[in-house]
Amino acid sequence: MGLTVAQKILKDHIVDGDLFSGEEIGIRIDQTLTQDATGTMADLQFEQMGVPRVKTEVSVSYIDHKTVQMGFEDADDHTYLQTFAKKYGLLLSKPGNGICHQVHIERVGKPGKTLLGSDSHTPTGGGIGMIAIGAGGLDIASAMAGLPFYLPAPKIVGIKLTGKLNPWVTAKDIILKVLQIMTTKGNVGKIVEYFGDGVKTLSVPERGTITNMGAELGATTSLFPSDETTLAFLKAQKREADWVSLEADPDAEYSEIIEINLSELEPMIAKPHNPDNVVRVRDVEGTPVDQVMVGSCTNSSYKDGKTVAEIMKGKTANPNLSFGYAPGSKQVLRMLADEGELSNIVASGARVLESACGFCIGAGQSPRNNAISIRTNNRNFYGRSGTVTAKIYLVSPETAAACALTGVITDPRDLETKFGIQYPKVDIPEQFTVDDSMLLQPAPESEAASIELYKGPNIVDPPGGESLAQDIVGEVTGKFGDKITTDDIMPAGDLLKYRSNVPKYSEYVFIKRDPTFATRCLENKKMGVHNVIVGGDNYGQGSSREHAALCPMYLGVKVVVAKAIERIHRANLINFGIVPLTFKNPDDYDKIDQNDKIKIPNIRKALLEDSKEVMLVDETKNLSIPLTYSLTERERKTLIGGGKMKLAKDFPGKSFQEIKFDN
C-alpha cells in the first residue's frame, strides 16, 4: 500500500509506537513556534525543566498578539521573551514583523518537517507541506526540550480537488465549503490531506488559507503536497534550498475521500456564531453591514492585500461602515507600499492596522452594539470580537471588498455589473521583498550563561499541580452548554496582559458566562471541596490557549465532564491534571444541574487499573451516572501524577514506562 503525504512525514519522524496500529504515537518535532499570548507561560515552563538550550532544529518566538501594549504588562512580557530567546537559542520575531503563521510560512517553514505551535492555527504550515500541529504551551516547552509529541495514530481524510476556481471564487470559499461538509464536530484524530488536479491550480498563500482554517474542523492538522508550486514560492522567498518534493503515492489510501469540484463552487459565507454555519453569499445578500475587516492569519498574504487594493482602486467604501485592513507581515506591508497598492486601500477610506492578530482575537476594532461585521478571519464565536451583541460573518477578501463598497452583504461577482470592476488576477511575484532585520538571532551558546532574564512584576512562575485524589468529592461549580469555546473559558482581548500571571488571570475564568465562577471555585478550594465542570458537545473548541486548563486547575477544578471534548483542550486538561470524562449516555447531561453535590469514588484506582468507566454519584438528586474515558497509559499516569510539570519534577529523567504509582 502506498503512503499519503502525511504518512510519509510521520513515518520519517516517529520515535514511539506504530503509525498503523491505531494507537498513540510519539513524533520528533523539528520546529516550534510560540506567540506572546501563549509564549511567556511556555517559556516559564521551559525554564523549570532546566534544559540549557532548545533542542529543536529551529524555534521561533513571535510577538504578534499583544502589540498594542496597553499598560506595562505586555511590554514587560515582550522584553522577557526577547531575553529568553537570546539566552535559550530561539529566533525572535519583533512586534511589527508580522503574524506568526504568515511570517513562518514566508521565512521559516520547510516542506517535510514537523512544526508544533502554541497557537491553534499552526496548521497554516501545511500549506507548504509540513505536519504543523497546534498544541498547548506546555507541549511546546517539552518539544523545545527535545521530548517527543504524542498524538493518536491519525486517520487521513483525503479531499480531492478537481477543476479550477472561477473568477471571484477563492481559497476561502473552498475551506468554508469543507466546513459546511465536515462541520466543526467529529474530526478529532483526523488529518485532512488535499490531493487531485485542482491542487496545482492553487498558490501557496491560497493553500495556507485552507490549512489555516482547517483548525476550525477540530482536526489534528491539514496539509498539501510539496510540488513545483511550493518550489516557486520558496524560490521567490530566496529559500529554494529548503524545498523537497512530497506527493502522495498513486496507490495511497485514505480513510474517507471528499471530492470538491472547484469549477462548481460559489462565494460562501459563515454566519454567526460558528465557522461551520456556512451558506452561499447569495443566500444572505442585501443584509446591511456596519463593519468590514480584512486581514488575520487566514487572509493577510500579499495576494489577499493586492486583490483588495485592486478592487478598491479609485473607489470609496460605503460611508455608513467602518473599514480596516491589516497586512499579515512587514513583507506584505512593504511590498504593497512600494507598489502603490497600499495607497489604493488608504484612498478607499480604510484604516491600515498593525501587522498583528488584532481584531481577530478582540484586541481592538470591536464593533458597535448589535453590529454586523464582515471579516476575513477564521472564527466568529459569540463575543470573540469584543462585542457580545455583534454578529460576525466570515468571508473571502473579495467578498469583504464587495461589502465595503456596497454597505450590504454582496456577492463579489456582482461587482462587474454594479461597478464595472473586472476580477483582478494577482500572481505570486517572482521575487518577494526579503528583510529579516526584525527576526533576531539568539546569542551564541558560549554567551548564554551571562544573559539575565528580564521579569517584570506581572510575570509569575506557573503554579504546580496536585496528585489525583482517590475520590472526587465536590460540586458542579459550572454547567455550560454546547460549543463552549476556549474564548468562553478564558477571554482574550484586553485581558491578554495577564497571561503570565495565573492567579490574576484566573479571576476571569468564564467571566462572560458566569461572573461568579472563579470566586465560588476559590471558596470551594479553600474548604477542600473539589470543583467539577459539566459541558455539552464540542467543549473547549477553538484556540489552543492552555490557560483554559491552567487557570481552572489553579481554581481547584479537578474534572471536566462533557458530551465531547475537543482535541487540544483535552490534551491541555490532561497536561494540568484535570480529568476529562464523557457521559456514557449523552442524555444524562440533562440530569445534572449547577451546584449539585457530587462524588466520583475510586477515580484514582479506576485510572490505575484502566477500567474505562467511573460512576458519578449526584448526591443532591440521588442519581448514579456512568461516565467513560479513553486515555493512553501515558495520559493516565500524567493525570494520576498531577499533571505534566509535576510528573517531570517527581520523576526526573524517567520514561512513562518506568513511572509507578501506589493505589
pTM of the model: 0.87
* Grid cell for residue 485: 469555546
Tens of pLDDT, residues 201-214: 999 999 999 999 99
Pairing state between β 58-62 and 31-35 = parallel
Q: What is the mean pLDDT of the chain?
A: 93
Q: Is the pLDDT of residue 528 over 90?
A: yes
Query: What integer pLDDT is reported at residue 650 of this predicted model?
Result: 80
Among 247, 264, 281, identify where a domain stops: 264
Residue 658 resides in a domain:
no
If residue 653 lies in a helix (H) or strand (E), which one and from where to where?
Answer: none
Q: Is the pLDDT of residue 474 over 90?
A: yes
Distance, CA of 69 to CA of 48 (rounded, Å): 27
Residue 199 resides in a domain:
yes
483 and 621 together in one domain: yes
Q: Is the pLDDT of residue 325 over 90?
A: yes
Distances in Å between the Cα of 135 and the Cα atoms of 181, 567, 621 are 25, 9, 38
Contact 620, 597 (CB under 8 A): yes
Could you tell me the CATH number of the domain that includes residue 476? 3.20.19.10
242 and 305 together in one domain: no
- N-term to C-term CA, the chain: 45
Lowest-confidence region among 169-178, 416-425, 641-650: 641-650
496 and 389 together in one domain: no
257 and 309 together in one domain: no
Catalytic residues: 64-65, 119, 379, 543, 545
Q: SS3 of 502, please?
A: helix
144 and 257 together in one domain: yes
Query: What integer pLDDT is reported at residue 657 of this predicted model?
Result: 76
The total domain count for the chain is 3
Could you tell me the CATH number of the domain that includes residue 319? 3.30.499.10
Q: Percent of the chain beyond pLDDT 70?
A: 99
Query: What integer pLDDT is reported at residue 68 of this predicted model?
Result: 85
Query: What integer pLDDT is reported at residue 66 of this predicted model?
Result: 82
Residue 448 resides in a domain:
no
Among 213, 240, 264, identify where a domain stops: 264
Q: What is the DSSP letter of 369?
A: T
Residue 460 resides in a domain:
no
Write out the E strands in 412-567: 439-440, 472-479, 530-535, 557-562
Domain holding 529, by residue range, is 472-650
Tens of pLDDT, residues 13-29: 999 889 988 888 999 99
Cell match 493516565: residue?
A: 636
Q: SS3 of 513, please?
A: coil
At 489, which amino acid appears?
I
For 141-184, give the secondary structure using H, E and C.
HHHHCCCCEEEECCEEEEEEEECCCCCCCCHHHHHHHHHHHHCC
243 and 296 together in one domain: no
Q: Is the pLDDT of residue 362 over 80?
A: no
Residue 653 pLDDT grade (very low, low, confident, very high; cuts 50, 70, 90): low
273 and 260 together in one domain: no
Give the pLDDT mean for 126-147. 94
Tens of pLDDT, residues 453-471: 999 888 888 888 889 999 9
Among 264, 291, 326, identify where a domain stops: 264
Residue 428 resides in a domain:
no
Contact 61, 93 (CB under 8 A): yes
Query: What integer pLDDT is reported at residue 543 of this predicted model?
Result: 76
Task: Of 42, 122, 131, 119, give the one whose Cα is nearest residue 88.
Answer: 42
253 and 385 together in one domain: no
Q: Is the pLDDT of residue 451 over 90?
A: yes
349 and 256 together in one domain: no
Residue 9 resides in a domain:
yes
Residue 313 pLDDT grade (very low, low, confident, very high; cuts 50, 70, 90): very high
Residue 462 resides in a domain:
no
314 and 383 together in one domain: yes
104 and 147 together in one domain: yes
Distance, CA of 533 to CA of 594 (rounded, Å): 9
Residue 607 resides in a domain:
yes
604 and 501 together in one domain: yes
Q: Is the pLDDT of residue 112 over 90?
A: yes
Give the number of other CB atoms < 10 A from CB of residue 595.
11
Distance, CA of 219 to CA of 157 (rounded, Å): 10
Task: Of 163, 120, 239, give the one whose Cα is nearest residue 485.
Answer: 120
Give the pLDDT mean for 518-529. 96
Distances in Å between the Cα of 55 and the Cα atoms of 48, 81, 104, 142, 146 are 15, 18, 19, 10, 5
Query: What integer pLDDT is reported at residue 306 of this predicted model?
Result: 96
Beta bridge partners of 2: 252
Q: Is the pLDDT of residue 570 over 80?
A: yes
Query: What integer pLDDT is reported at residue 663 of this predicted model?
Result: 65
Q: Is the pLDDT of residue 83 over 80?
A: yes
Lowest-confidence region among 67-71, 321-325, 368-372, 477-481: 67-71
* Grid cell for residue 186: 467529529
Cell match 480596516: residue?
A: 324
Phi-psi region of 465 (alpha: psi -120 to 50; beta: other; left: phi over 0): beta
Query: What integer pLDDT is reported at residue 185 of this predicted model?
Result: 84
Lowest-confidence region among 15-19, 300-304, 320-324, 363-367: 363-367
